[in-house]
Amino acid sequence: MLNMRKKGSFHKRIEHIKQAFGQPEDLIFHIVEKGSVSLAIIYFKSLVEQVELKRGVVKKIQASSEDDYFLDEYMNIVTTPASLKESSDELLNDLLEGMAVIILSNSNAYVICDVSSTEGRDIVPSETEINIRGPHEAFTERLDKNIGLLRMRIRNPNLRLVSLQLGNVTKTKVIVSYIEGTAPKEIIDEVFTRLNQVDINIILESQMIEEAIVDKQASLFPTISNTELPAKVASRLIEGRVAILTEGTPFALTVPALFTEFFQAPEDYYQRWDIASLLRLLRFTTFIWGTLVPGLFVALTTYHQEMIPSLLLYSFAAQREGLPYPSLVEVLIMEFIFEVLREAGVRMPVAIGSAISIVGALVLGQAAVQAGLISAAVVIVVSLTAVANFVSPAYNFGVTGRILRFGFLLAGGTLGFYGMFFLFLVVLIHSASLQSFGVSYLTPFAPLNLRDLRDTFVRLPDNWVKNQIPKGIGRKE
Amino acid sequence: MRKISALLPLFLILLLSGCWDQGDISELVIVDMIGIEKDKNTDEFVIYLQIVNPTSFATQEKRIDSSPVYTFVSKHKSLKAAVDKASLQVPRHLFFAKTNFLLLSSDLEISDMEEIFNFLDRNSETRAPIQTAVSLQPLSETMFRLTKINILPGQWLFENLQASKRHFSATVLKYRVRDNVEKYYRDGNLLFPAVVFLDDNAQTTDFLNEVDTSSGHAQFVGGVAYQKNAEPVLLSEEEMALYNLLKNQLNQLPLTVSKDEEVAHFLDINRCKSKKKTIGENPYRFGFRITCKADFLNSKVTDTLTLKAIEEMESEANKSLEAKLSELTDKLQEEELDLLGLFSRYPSMSKMEKRSAFKNATLTYDVKITVNDVGNIIDSYSDEEEQE
Is the pLDDT score of A305 beyond 60? yes
CA distance B24 to A474: 52
Closest C-alpha among B291, B301, B304, B303 to residue B371: B291
Are B36 and B156 in a shared domain? yes
Side-chain half-sphere CA neighbours of A270 within 13 A? 12
Strands B101-105 and B69-76: unpaired
Same domain for A310 and A373? yes
Report the residue from B10, B28, B52 with minimal CB separation from A305: B28
Task: Look at chain A and report how many structural domains it folds into.
Answer: 3
Cα separation, B175 vs A339, in Å, equals 48
What is the distance between the alpha carbons of residues A355 and A380, in angstroms, rounded to a whole number? Answer: 21
> What's the structural domain count of chain B?
2
pLDDT band of residue A7 (cuts 50, 70, 90) is very low
Could you read off the pLDDT tens digit of each residue along chain B, which spans 388 residues? 676 777 777 666 666 655 666 788 888 899 999 999 999 899 999 999 999 888 876 665 655 566 788 889 999 999 999 999 998 888 788 999 888 889 999 888 888 888 888 888 887 777 677 888 898 888 887 887 765 555 677 887 888 777 766 555 555 556 667 778 888 888 888 888 888 877 655 444 444 444 434 344 677 788 899 988 888 899 988 898 899 899 888 888 888 887 676 778 888 888 899 999 998 887 899 999 999 999 888 777 777 778 888 888 899 999 999 999 999 999 999 999 999 889 888 888 888 888 889 999 999 999 999 998 877 666 656 555 555 4
CB distance B10–A422 less than 8 Å?
A: yes
Long-range contacts of the stretch A166-170 (C-beta < 8 A, 24+): A166/A195, A166/A198, A166/A200, A166/A203, A166/A209, A167/A200, A167/A201, A167/A202, A167/A203, A167/A208, A168/A199, A168/A200, A168/A201, A169/A201, A169/A202, A170/A201, A170/A202, A170/A203, A170/A204
- Compute the residue count for chain B: 388
Q: Both B228 and B310 in a single domain?
A: no
One domain, residues A229 and A278 = no
CB contact under 8 A, B23 and A317: no
Q: Residue-wise over A369-382: b if at least 16 C-beta within 10 A, else e? A: beeebbbbbbbebb
Q: Are residues B200 and B343 in the same domain?
A: no
Among the candidates B208, B235, B262, a domain finishes at B235
Please answer whether residues B325 and B367 qualify as being in contact, where contact means their C-beta atoms are separated by less than 8 angstroms: yes
Which residue, B173, B200, B235, sits at the end of a domain?
Answer: B235
Instruction: Check residue A6 and give its pLDDT.
Output: 39
B69-87 burial, b at 16+ Cβ within 10 Å, e below that, comes to bbbbbbebeebeebbebbb
Q: Tell me the average pLDDT of chain A.
A: 86
In a shared domain, residues B55 and B154: yes
| Interfacial residues of B (vs A; Cβ cutoff 8 Å) | 9-10, 13-14, 16-19, 21-26, 28, 30, 52, 54-55, 57-59, 95, 97-98, 100, 125, 128, 155
Q: How many residues does chain A have?
A: 477
Which is higher by pLDDT, A129 or B376? A129
Q: A71-99: per-residue pLDDT in tens?
A: 777 778 888 888 888 877 788 888 888 88
What's the rounded Cα separation, in Å, for the pair B292 and A63? 116
Nearest partner of A386 among A444, A422, A339, A320, judged by Cα: A339
Last residue of a domain, one of A205, A222, A257: A257
CB contact (8 A) between residue A326 and residue B128: no
- Our CA-based measurement puts residue B155 at a distance from the nearest CA of chain A, in whole angstroms, of 9
State which of A257, A280, A315 marks the end of a domain: A257
Q: How many alpha carbons fall within 13 Å on the CB side of residue B54?
A: 22
> Which among A394, A397, A398, A475 has a CA at the least distance from the CA of A439?
A475
Cross-chain CB nearest to B25 (options A311, A316, A419): A316
- Smallest Cα distance from B10 to chain A, Å: 8
- Domain span at A42: 4-114
A97, A159: one domain: no
- Closest CA in chain A for residue B17: A415
Q: How confident is the model over A350-383, as pLDDT tens digits? A: 777 777 777 777 676 778 888 888 888 998 899 8
Same domain, A372 and A423: yes
Q: Write down the pLDDT at residue B204.
A: 47
Closest residue of A to B18, CA-based?
Answer: A415
Q: Do A314 and B13 touch (CB under 8 A)?
A: no
Share of chain A above pLDDT 70, in %: 94
The answer on B218 and B264 residing in a single domain is no
- Does residue A27 share a domain with residue A52? yes
Give the angle A338-A342-A346 at the CA atoms, nearest 5°: 170
Element (H, E) at B210: helix B207-210
Q: B121: part of which helix (H) or strand (E)? A: helix B110-122
Residue A155, in any domain of the structure: yes
Distance, in Å, from the CA atom of B340 to the CA atom of A381, rounded to the nearest integer, reads: 51
* B18, part of any domain: no
- Whether B322 maps to a domain, the answer reads yes
CA distance A305 to chain B (A): 7
Q: Are residues A286 and A414 in the same domain?
A: yes
Q: Is the pLDDT of residue A4 over 50?
A: no
At residue A256's C-alpha, the angle toward residues A250 and A262, to 5°, is: 70
Q: Do A314 and B9 make contact, defined as CB atoms within 8 angstroms?
A: no
**Structure confidence at residue A164 (pLDDT):** 92
Peptide bond into A461 cis (omega under 30): no
B322 and B197 in a single domain? The answer is no
Give the dihedral sign, CA B240/B244/B250/B251: negative
Q: Do A303 and B22 touch (CB under 8 A)?
A: yes
Same domain, A242 and A300: no
- The angle, 0 to 180 degrees and rounded to 10, between the axes of the packed helices B79-89 and B110-122 is 60
Angle at CA of residue A375, ends A369 and A381, nearest 5°: 110
Q: Residue A209 above 90 pLDDT?
A: yes
> Are B211 and B279 found together in one domain?
no
Q: Does residue A64 sit in the same domain as residue A183?
A: no
- pLDDT of A348 > 60? The answer is yes
- B280-300 burial, b at 16+ Cβ within 10 Å, e below that, comes to eeeebebebebebbbbbeebe
Cα radius of gyration (chain B): 26
In a domain, B164, yes or no: yes
- Indicate if A105 and A250 belong to the same structural domain: no
Phi-psi region of B204 (alpha: psi -120 to 50; beta: other; left: phi over 0): beta
d(CA A440, CA A424): 19
Contact, B291 vs B272, CB < 8 A?
A: yes
Residues A148 and A99 in one domain: no
Binary contact (B14, A315; C-beta < 8 A): no
How many Cβ atoms sit within 10 Å of the Cβ of residue B359?
14
A445 occurs within a structural domain: no
Q: Is B30 in Cβ contact with A314 (below 8 Å)?
A: yes
- B379 within domain boundaries: yes
Asked if residue B3 is part of any domain, the answer here is no
Question: Cα torsion at B360, B363, B364, B370 (round to 10°)?
Answer: -160
Report CA Rg, chain A. 29
Cβ burial of A20 (10 Å; 0-12, 13-18, 19+) is middle
Whether A207 contacts A225, CB under 8 Å: no
The answer to whether residue B19 is domain-embedded is no
Contacts of A313 in chain B (CB under 8 A): 25, 30, 98
Q: Is the Cβ pair B54, A321 closer than 8 Å? A: yes
- Is A95 inside any structural domain? yes
Q: Is residue B17 one of the residues assigned to a domain?
A: no
Q: Are residues B95 and B134 in the same domain?
A: yes
Domain that holds residue B301: 252-388
SS3 percent helix, strand, coil of chain B, rounded to 5, is 35, 30, 35
A285 shares a domain with A192: no
Angle at CA A312, nearest 5°, toward A311 and A316? 120
B260 lies in the same domain as B211: no
CATH number, domain with residue B276: 3.30.300.210
Instruction: Examine residue B7 and state whether it is found in any structural domain, yes or no.
Output: no
- On the CB side of A402, how many CA atoms lie within 13 Å of its CA? 19
> Do B122 and B225 belong together in one domain?
yes
B230 and B270 both lie in a single domain: no
What's the pLDDT at B312? 87
Q: From CA B288, how far away is CA B326, in angstroms rounded?
A: 11
Query: How wide is the angle at C-alpha B301 spanned by C-alphas B300 and B304, nearest 5°?
Result: 135
- Across B176-334, the runs of DSSP E, i.e. the strands, are 189-197, 218-227, 233-235, 252-258, 264-280, 285-299
Q: Which residues of A touch B28 (CB under 8 A)?
A: 305, 317
Residue A234 domain-assigned? Answer: yes
- Taking contacts as CB-CB distances below 8 angstroms, the residues of chain A near B98 are 306, 310, 313
A322 and A369 together in one domain? yes
Dist. CA A245–CA A147, nearest whole Å = 8
B86, B92, B94, B98: CA torsion to nearest 10:
-140
Contact B78, B122 (CB under 8 A): no
- Give the per-residue pLDDT at B18: 59
Please say which residue of A235, A257, A279 terminates a domain.
Answer: A257
Nearest to A326 by CA among B27, B58, B92: B27
**Which amino acid is present at A1?**
M
Of B175, B202, B235, the last residue of a domain is B235
Residue in B with minimal Cα distance to A327 = B24
Is A457 inside any structural domain? Answer: no
Question: ipTM, 2 decimals?
Answer: 0.78
| Same domain, residue pair B80 and B190 | yes
Please tell me the predicted confidence (pLDDT) of residue B42: 92
